[in-house]
Amino acid sequence: MSTENSTSTLSREDLARLVAADIAPGSYVNLGIGQPTKVSDHLRADQQVTLHTENGMLGMGPEAHGEDIDEELINAGKIPVTERPGASYFHQADSFAIMRGGHLDVCVLGAFQVSAAGDLANWSTGAPDAIPAVGGAMDLAIGAKQVFVMMSLFAKDGTPKIVADCTYPLTGLACVSRVYTDHGVFLVDHGEDGPSVTLREAHGMSPHEVADRLDFPLTLPAENG
Amino acid sequence: MSTENSTSTLSREDLARLVAADIAPGSYVNLGIGQPTKVSDHLRADQQVTLHTENGMLGMGPEAHGEDIDEELINAGKIPVTERPGASYFHQADSFAIMRGGHLDVCVLGAFQVSAAGDLANWSTGAPDAIPAVGGAMDLAIGAKQVFVMMSLFAKDGTPKIVADCTYPLTGLACVSRVYTDHGVFLVDHGEDGPSVTLREAHGMSPHEVADRLDFPLTLPAENG
Amino acid sequence: MTEFVDTAAEAVARVQDGSTVLLGGFGNAGQPMELIDALLESGTTGLTVVSNNAGQGDRGLALLIKERRVRKVICSFPRQSDSWHFDEAYRAGDIELELVPQGNLAERLRAAGAGIGAFFTPTGYGTTLAEGKETREIDGRHYVLEHPIRGDVALIKAHTADDAGNLLYRKTARNFGPVMATAAAHTVVQVQQRVPVGSIDPEHVVTPGIYVDTVTALGADPARPEGQPENHPQEAKHA
Amino acid sequence: MTEFVDTAAEAVARVQDGSTVLLGGFGNAGQPMELIDALLESGTTGLTVVSNNAGQGDRGLALLIKERRVRKVICSFPRQSDSWHFDEAYRAGDIELELVPQGNLAERLRAAGAGIGAFFTPTGYGTTLAEGKETREIDGRHYVLEHPIRGDVALIKAHTADDAGNLLYRKTARNFGPVMATAAAHTVVQVQQRVPVGSIDPEHVVTPGIYVDTVTALGADPARPEGQPENHPQEAKHA
């Protein structure tokens, strides 16, 4: 897999590999529940990435199996996990201080929608009969130095999930830095002249085709611009 | 020494003994710098009082001497102290959360003045050329469930130090519960009808003589009222 | 001063009808199952429960909700794959829900314990969970004003208590315990073991005894047989 | 990620003229004397120093003030029996003082580290130290609004660091270290010893490595000869 434009879309595995490769060595990272969890499979040992789980731990290791399962050592998805050397435990207020205080380098989240201003919608479909649950989503959205989103670019009905304005209930405003999708990687710039979105690379369609499907002005990669 | 009215004034040692005897068994207590420190000499082991020092410790023991001196184990007055079994260390924000959150049962402080409303002035003389220093005084004043003050009833010039309104800069408002002085013990009631001060016992002068010297209405002990 | 009682039933005696109860745990980890069982036995009802979740499966808080003892839940993540008792009570209109982002929940509990009157948090700004709340821009960032959450009683789980009430926790079961212990008028703790004063290194104490009112030691946890000592805190091994 | 450097001089290289420096310590306990000595050597000036005190005797911060490297001090207790260098600078009008009640100082540092925009504290309400500050009555109690104190660099002292930057402190020398470590853009720590990852029990870590940017291990402290091992944290003995 290359990070240049390609004619085939990226699989979920490709995406996880791409995100993992983009995380700077030595980073402190929180991986959200679901698709983002897969990123850990592609982090190389020499990247020395330390994983945070918001239920009170730094230095989280891979999922636990068999005899290693300990119901008092779980991740934010309540899956049994393991402990890396150099780990530490802390209580919930200290754990969220790590996030809210901006100490994590990267947080990787799933999403329903991301706006061209970097607004994130990932906690509620807004369906009137749904039982709401937010967990740490809003803290994760506003806490990390960089928030990476992983999702498909289009919903099942073909409408784009990167939009001018989110129609789903918001998780956080102007918080997303990058969006990794099956059809390409989008960089959100929160500049002083207002936000802008640049397509870093396209997959499965051309950059112009991607731009045509979106309802906001997309900056294309330099070689295509 | 009795807790009834007496014809002689209370010495500083008497006061320390009196305060110590009034601390309920099992209490968590902070003793301020100076005269209040003496209270610890009179706490009985069976009272099981736990001492807090705001620089980050519960379970502080007596002053350290000789080989026991450790410059990393000091009290709020920067005097080397010792550690009792069952002690714990914590950082400064956690230590002041213990105070501000109202978890200490008793705090004993010195004072320049206390008002009839229980206002405390103990951190600054207000002299124009003085270099100000407040330390933890304002946190101690408002934090504990009960604040006991130890001081002489009269200043060197003969003016009372329990007053209608403090003239010295305030440390905290309506925070003092009791005032232990050489001439008697005063209880400050913060009732719904406004504050009132009751003389529990007089020493070295009669209750009426004490009342005559003060410039606010003093409630006298029941047997003299 | 910390009192030690022999049974979970005695430990929860402080909880009354209508009490606000802070309930430790993130999922089942750190949830004081035996204290909750005793609360079920006691018949106490009309409770407001503050907890991260609203119960999983057929244990602990889920059973309190099933039995309709809980009038209101203040939590961050009620809906889960196995939160069927909450789901049913909620859809039936039998339980009130106040949804709070998890970090705000933790910080509001901390504020209660630390004597903070209110605080400006960036979490939730611009979302429906901040609707109607005061907001402010400070140094170019937007914040929402949040207030403390206090409990009448906290029910939490720790691993070890010494005779002075100092607590050690275990791994991610620590979660809300230390914060809730500071935020309730009365804190009740179930521990696996009680050790003499002096058994815990003062540098390692997580919750000082000043926050701990009642402790009951349950002995060995069936889920953690003695054959796994390496998972226990260091002091536990020495005791 | 935590970097380890060989000398105190390298460790303080981040401090620039005009920097705001958070300086650990309560009195001399926990004051990073060797880092301050290196700062003296470096010639850096125009500093704003945030610390509980304003130096004692002829060591550490007192010397920085004596040499007029400090433009402003934010502290709770500058005036002491042996604060002669501060007293002289202050009376000469050479140093600015912002006096902050100690608990507000600690909480403002914590707020900076925890991403809290501002908070209402009861401490100082109705006193001259709250003059001009916003106040509010909440549930019948009066509060003052206080804002975070952030540092460009924190210089603190701990006892032990592992290779991941996790820190253990020693007794009341812990004081402001853990809070300041969270409140600065760059945190520099002097420790007595560095140990391999895995030497510190994860339950005992006081400051996680995420807060620690630069560490220098000084080796044995002359004030604490090896003959006193019982005063060292448990892990230190095992290392």
Q: Sort strands D214-217 and A178-181 into parallel, antiparallel or unpaired.
A: unpaired
pLDDT of residue D229: 37
- Structural domain containing residue C75: 3-125+136-219
**Please, which residues 191-210 of chain C have a Cβ atom closer than 8 Å to chain A?**
206
Whether C51 maps to a domain, the answer reads yes
Is residue A162 within 8 A of residue A179, CB to CB? The reply is yes
Partners of residue D27 in chain B, C-beta under 8 Å? 74, 78
What is the tens place of the pLDDT at every residue in B48-97?
999 999 999 999 999 999 999 999 999 999 999 999 999 999 999 999 99
Residue C94 belongs to a domain? yes
Q: Per this entry, what is the length of chain C?
A: 239
Torsion (CA) A223, A215, A168, D114 in degrees, nearest 10 = 40
- Residues of chain C in contact with residue A73, where contact means CB-CB under 8 angstroms, are 29, 171-172
Q: What is the pLDDT of residues C5-57, one digit of tens each?
A: 999 999 999 999 999 999 999 999 999 999 999 999 999 999 999 999 999 99
Residue of C nearest to A101 (CA): C122
Q: What is the ipTM of this complex?
A: 0.95
pLDDT of residue C185: 98
Contacts of B63 (CB under 8 A, 6+ apart): B79, B80, B81, B82
Residue B203 backbone phi and psi in degrees, to 5: -135, 130
Q: Is D163 on the interface with A (CB under 8 A)?
A: yes
By the 8 A CB rule, do C148 and C183 touch? yes
- Tell me how far apart the alpha carbons of residues B153 and B186 are, in angstroms, rounded to a whole number: 10
Residue C206 lies in a domain: yes
User: What is the three-class DSSP state of D209?
Assistant: helix
Asked if residue A158 belongs to a domain, the reply is: yes
Is residue B57 assigned to a domain? yes
pLDDT digits (tens, 9 = 90+) for B159-180: 999 999 999 999 999 999 999 9
Residue D227 domain-assigned (yes or no): no
> Looking at CA atoms only, how far is residue A29 from chain C in angstroms?
17
Domain with D203 in it: what CATH number? 3.40.1080.10
CB neighbourhood size of B75 (10 A):
23
Beta strands in A130-217 (DSSP E): 146-150, 162-163, 178-181, 184-191, 194-202
The domain containing residue A169 runs over which residues? Answer: 12-219
Question: CA-to-CA distance for A202 and A181, rounded, in angstroms?
Answer: 9
Query: Does position D120 have pLDDT exceeding 90, yes or no?
Result: yes
Name, in order, each residue with C-beta under 8 angstroms of C227's C-beta and a sequence gap of 6 or more. none
Please list, residue by residue across A105-135, b when 16 or more beta carbons sit within 10 angstroms of its beta carbon and e when fewer do: bbbbbbbbbbbbbbbbbbbbeeeeeebbbbb
More confident residue, A140 or A7: A140
Contact D143 C204 (CB under 8 A): no
* B26 within domain boundaries: yes
**Residue B54 annotated in active site:** yes
Between A193 and A206, where is the model more confident? A206
Phi/psi at A45 (nearest 5 deg)?
A: -55, -40
- List the catalytic residue out of B4, B54, B63, B72: B54
Average confidence (pLDDT) over B204-217: 95
Instruction: Decide if D54 is inside a domain.
Output: yes
- Structurally, chain B folds into a number of domains equal to 1
- Does a structural domain hold residue A1? no
Contact criterion met (CB < 8 Å) for C182 and B101:
yes
Residue D228 included in any domain = no
CB proximity list for A178: less than 8 A, separation 6 or greater: A22, A146, A147, A148, A149, A185, A186, A187, A188
Whether residue C231 lies inside any domain: the answer is no
List the chains bordering chain B where 3 or more Cβ pairs fall under 8 Å: C, D
Task: Establish if B144 belongs to a structural domain.
Answer: yes
Answer yes or no: is A35 within a domain: yes
CATH number, domain containing residue B141: 3.40.1080.10
Write the burial class of residue A81 (CB in 10 Å: 0-12 exposed, 13-18 middle, 19+ buried).
buried
> What pLDDT does residue B100 have?
98
Cα dihedral across residues C23, C29, C34, C36: positive or negative: positive
When scoring C75, C171, C232 by the number of chain A Cβ atoms within 10 A, the one with the most, hence best to mutate, is: C171
Tokens of D59: 């060591």
Residue C222 has pLDDT above 60, yes or no: no
Name the residue among D132, C120, C83, C176 with its Cα closest to residue A94: C176
pLDDT at residue A1, rounded to an integer = 43
Segment holding A51, helix H or strand E: strand A50-53
Q: What per-residue string of b and e applies to B172-207 under the rule 16 or more CB within 10 Å gives b?
A: bbbbbbbbbbbbbbbebeeeeeebbbbbbbbbbbeb
**A177 contacts A187 by C-beta, under 8 angstroms:** yes
Residue A20 lies in a domain: yes
Tally of domains in chain C: 1
Q: Which residues of chain D are within 8 Å of residue B136 when distances are taken between CB atoms?
A: 76, 101-103
* Residues in chain A closer than 8 A to C173 (CB atoms): 72
Strands A218-219, B81-89: pairing kind: unpaired
Question: Which pLDDT does position D219 carry in this prediction?
Answer: 76
Report residue A97 as tokens: 């201080």
CB-closest option in D107, D115, D206 to C122: D115
Q: Token digits for B30?
A: 């902070």
Cβ neighbours of B72 (radius 10 Å): 21
Rounded Cα distance, C74 and C176, in Å: 14
